């Protein structure tokens, strides 16, 4: 859900707020008034509020509404950069000294640890660092599970086992909208 700002309603060049009507020229000359075409970055922070809770998104939680698009998309980019680097580094470890089973346990542990510590992020930079670590450790989990599952069965069942594993992933993805609907009022 995108963040939205409480805005005055406009009808026929008259702005109305709390049953008080203002002409459009009065509103345009007032730098503290937020209309539907206002730039909120030019307004004082006290002149507008979020419609929902301020901790709902990264932009509202860290006050990034006037930040550049680089900063607002930094956390997602960090996650995918972590996935990219982790897939190169951790696959080498899985094939050499560490082994797939040990790497799977280690990846699950460190991904869980990074996920839990994300809650304590005080700014977008630490949040993005934790997202990078989550992506880094997450990158090897699916591959390790698939290889460990298919190595344990005979060659005639490998295809079936490999496909069945992804049925559970698909089923999990299909249940997410239902879970989100049930938790729609929690933040």
pLDDT in tens, 72-118: 677 788 999 999 999 999 988 888 888 899 999 999 999 999 999 98
Cα–Cα distance measured from residue 88 to residue 81, given in angstroms and rounded to the nearest whole number: 11
HSE, CB side, 13 Å, CA atoms: give it for residue 132: 12
Structure-derived torsion over alpha carbons of residues 166, 171, 176, 178, reported in degrees to the nearest 10: 170
pLDDT at residue 5, rounded to an integer: 45
Q: Are 114 and 127 in contact (CB under 8 A)?
A: no
Q: Taking the mean position of all CA atoms in its chain, how far away is CA 145? A: 25
> Quick one: average pLDDT of 1-15?
44
pLDDT at residue 18 tops 60: no
Token look-up 């939680």 returns: 61
Instruction: Determine phi and psi for 2, rounding to 5 degrees.
Output: -85, 150
> Quick one: average pLDDT of 56-62?
61
pLDDT at residue 131, rounded to an integer: 92
Instruction: Record the pTM.
Output: 0.62
Model pLDDT for residues 124-156, shown as the tens digit of each residue: 888 889 999 999 999 889 888 888 888 888 889
Instruction: Work out the percent of the chain whose per-residue pLDDT is above 90.
Output: 28
CB-count burial class (<10 Å; 0-12, 13-18, 19+) for 154: exposed
């Amino acid at each position: 859900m995108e963040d939205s700002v409480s805005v005055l309603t406009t009808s026929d060049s008259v702005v109305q707020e709390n049953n008080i009507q203002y002409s459009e020229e009065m509103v345009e000359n007032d730098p503290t008034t937020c209309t539907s075409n206002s730039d909120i970055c030019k307004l004082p922070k006290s002149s507008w509020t979020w419609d929902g809770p301020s901790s709902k998104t990264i932009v509202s939680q860290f006050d990034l509404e006037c930040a550049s698009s680089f900063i607002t998309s930094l956390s997602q980019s960090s996650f995918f950069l972590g996935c990219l680097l982790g897939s190169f580094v951790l696959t080498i470890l899985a094939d050499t000294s560490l082994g797939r089973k040990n790497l799977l346990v280690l990846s699950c542990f460190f991904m869980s640890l990074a996920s839990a510590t994300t809650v304590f992020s005080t700014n977008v930079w630490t949040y993005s660092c934790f997202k990078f670590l989550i992506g880094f450790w997450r990158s090897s989990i699916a591959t390790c599970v698939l290889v460990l599952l298919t190595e344990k069965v005979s060659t005639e069942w490998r295809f079936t086992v490999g496909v069945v594993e992804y049925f559970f992933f698909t089923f999990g993805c299909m249940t997410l909208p239902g879970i989100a609907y049930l938790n729609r009022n929690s933040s």
